[in-house]
Amino acid sequence: MDRRKGGDREANGGLAEATASRLRFDSDEEAEAEEVGMDVEESAGAEGDEQEGEEVVGSDKTSADYYFDSYSHFGIHEEMLKDVVRTKSYQNVITQNSFLFKDKIVLDVGAGTGILSLFCAKAGAKHVYAIECSQMADMAKEIVNKNGYANVITVIKGKVEEIELPVPKVDVIISEWMGYFLLFENMLNTVLYARDKWLADDGVVLPDKASLHLTAIEDAEYKDEKIEFWNNVYGFDMSCIKKQAMMEPLVDTVDANQIVTNCQLLKTMDISKMTPGDASFTVPFKLVAERNDYIHALVAYFNVSFTKCHKVMGFSTGPRSKATHWKQTVLYLEDAITICQGETLMGTMTVTPNKKNPRDIDIKLKYSLDGHRCQVSRTQYYKMR
């Protein structure tokens, strides 16, 4: 599964571009309520044409190159920049809390086009070090120069784990590290590495809190289209593919009207204190039906908070908030569960990085229901690739 690549739901299961409005938590009580209920060369002409085109970063890459260096392509950055919730939230955090940045040394981890670095520079940062591993770093340097911040922003091309900064410590680390299901692509570990190596004792990590949430939905129509489709493909039995289809979580936008149960907080992460091992966990859940209905899938989403601001700020990727490019993560169940109002679907979810590729995620889901019309107990496994 590729992160942040466009296309509509009908085409490839819902990796479409979408935008949304920012969510602000105006008090601790509201935040708690939300937790419980709720980012070359120009093509040549004919052979033998000796005319040289202007070099354009990334334009000489093939699809194979993008597989290994997908963040070099401008399209992914366009989608993220046009995600108003993501980009405007970061902009508001920086511009409305300039006391966090004024005359401070800032480290931007995974800078991309350099948009967060530009916000920080505009807010009065003394200097910003923007680290970007992909070829987009070359374009970020040009963007910085074009906007007159070359004396404030230094773009460093390379992996965080392999580069050295010209300063021993930084005051602020800012990063948009979140992936699908919060943890897909595992960029969080890179932020934690930078924190442990460079952040001053009284320094700030932004964002500093992230939480994963779970709910259950009715989704018979689309489950039939996506999963049961393999039972009869133009008259042929291809049901052997169903198991693989079930194991791959679907990234898609869920209609709030599909929600059958409460939304439960699964896990809260304090980015300023956690260790890399904290991204592997097993947590219990209890989802209580709010009406008589059927459950075809569980849905995970995340919230992000900036608690060091003058007033706590943040945003949600939940189905009751407007859509972001992260959408939600849908885990289809083998069973179509009949549940009555007040009954509880309970279980545990285990999340671990894949052993072969730690940027991928393995999910183990155990669930059971002892209801009036349905009794079920099952364990399912999912792989986010």
Query: Which residues are catalytic, by number?
Result: 176, 185
Record the tokens describing residue 219, joined without a space. 């989704």
Integer Cα distance of 182 and 187 in angstroms: 10
CB 245 within 8 Å of CB 226: yes
Q: Cis omega before residue 207 (within 30°)?
A: yes
Strands, E assignment, the chain: 105-109, 127-132, 153-157, 170-175, 199-206, 209-217, 250-252, 264-270, 281-288, 293-306, 313-316, 328-339, 344-353, 361-370, 375-384
d(CA 140, CA 285): 43
Helices 115-122 & 136-146 angle (0-180, nearest 10): 30
Rounded Cα distance between 208 and 190, Å, is 14
For the chain, the helix, strand and coil percentages under 3-state DSSP, each to the nearest 5: 25, 30, 40
Structure tokens at 171: 């005051």
- Torsion of the alpha carbons at 371, 377, 383 and 384, rounded to the nearest 10: 20
Give the tokens for residue 100.
Answer: 């966090």
Cα–Cα dist 79/39, whole Å:
10
Question: Could you write out the DSSP letters of every residue in 104-126?
Answer: -EEEEES-TTSHHHHHHHHTT-S
> Looking at residue 248, what DSSP letter applies?
S
Residue 213: closest CA among 172, 171, 263 = 263
Strands 250-252 and 328-339, by their bridges, are antiparallel
